[in-house]
Copies of this chain bind each other. A is one copy, B any other.
């Protein structure tokens, strides 16, 4: 049962949903209740639990954001909108329900992403670049292939980070053909590791938020530190390859005012910046345009400074 199928007057409806947020609140006369934001994988909705002690039967005696539960609900009308009232809540057996369907994910599966990205890594022939890339991704593979690329801006879904890298690599392939002075090994390597710091900047794949390092250092500085460690372990200090990769991570935001401590000073760093800019903007746009009717304006687009786009009526 999806939220969009609920209607006023429904009662005793069984509903599986992911809890995004759960806060304790109080009515005017000081009675506590829970206000929840829940997701069925497609849409989000608000819901209320008036009888707070129904959570005592749960294994954690509480509702944990990031987890999926089975709810029994009725639907009231509140100011012309559906209001979901939760009467019962149960833990969910992961063997029975496909939990992954409640989390928004990249358009292709984690396995496919692992296979595609591995394919690009194998095309790197320079041994120093390849070793650095293999080690950095290998040490952080779980997070690398599951984390989002951002909290709210773009690729903000499971495996968003890896999908962003994969999408960039496809653009890079065409660029290397168009602009033959670009070094393919270096450009692919730079793309593969440019956002490695996000595995630490963003806390987890279930309830992503910024870590302390994320707030105080940001993914560029974190990534530089992670790269330095791998460089040292392999004895690659002060090689042209390690300096070039450090530069590419440092410069990939393109301009000082976007948080890069250096502007791109090698050709492949310029290319990396342009591919990253292109993929961030166009992925964010595609997600929103694909949900918008032709001949109307979109909701504000986060990667365009919250401007709205018009979708022309053109076939």
For residue A216, CB closer than 8 A to chain B, the reply is yes
Q: How far is the CA of A299 from the CA of B240 in the complex (A)?
A: 20
Per-position 1/0 for A259-274, Cβ under 8 A of B: 1111101110011001
- Given A186-B312, A215-B310, A216-B243 in contact, is the A274-B281 Cβ separation under 8 Å? yes
Please pick, from B213, B224, B281, the residue contacting A243 in the complex, using a CB distance under 8 A: B213
Q: Is the CB of B286 within 8 A of A267?
A: yes
Please pick, from B80, B175, B307, the residue contacting A30 in the complex, using a CB distance under 8 A: B80
For residue A244, CB closer than 8 A to chain B, the reply is yes
**Interfacial chain B residues near A266, Cβ < 8 Å:** 216, 309-312
Binds B, one of A15-23, A42-50, A138-146, A166-174: A166-174
Name the distance in Å between A163's Cβ and chain B's nearest Cβ.
Answer: 11
For residue A59, CB closer than 8 A to chain B, the reply is no
Q: Kindly identify, within residues 243 to 264 of chain A, every residue whose CB is under 8 Å from any CB belonging to chain B.
A: 243-244, 246-247, 250, 256-263
For residue A177, CB closer than 8 A to chain B, the reply is yes
Name the distance in Å between A82's Cβ and chain B's nearest Cβ.
Answer: 13
Please pick, from B171, B262, B286, the residue contacting A218 in the complex, using a CB distance under 8 A: B262
Interface of A is mostly: helix
Q: How large is the interface on A (under 10, 10 to 19, 20 to 34, 35 or more residues)?
A: 35 or more
Please pick, from B79, B281, B312, the residue contacting A270 in the complex, using a CB distance under 8 A: B281
Name the distance in Å between A188's Cβ and chain B's nearest Cβ.
Answer: 12
Contacts A/B (CB < 8 Å), 23 sampled: A30-B77, A30-B79, A126-B315, A171-B175, A173-B174, A174-B174, A181-B285, A183-B312, A213-B243, A215-B265, A216-B244, A216-B310, A217-B247, A218-B250, A221-B224, A221-B261, A221-B262, A240-B313, A241-B314, A266-B312, A267-B289, A271-B282, A274-B278
Which 6 A/B pairs are nearest by Cβ-Cβ distance?
Answer: A216-B247, A181-B289, A179-B286, A174-B174, A225-B228, A181-B286
User: Which residues of chain A have a CB within 8 Å of any CB of chain B?
Assistant: 26, 28, 30, 77, 79-80, 126, 129, 167, 170-171, 173-175, 177-183, 185-186, 212-213, 215-218, 220-221, 224-225, 228-229, 232, 238, 240-241, 243-244, 246-247, 250, 256-263, 265-267, 270-271, 274-275, 277-279, 281-283, 285-286, 289-290, 295, 304, 307-315
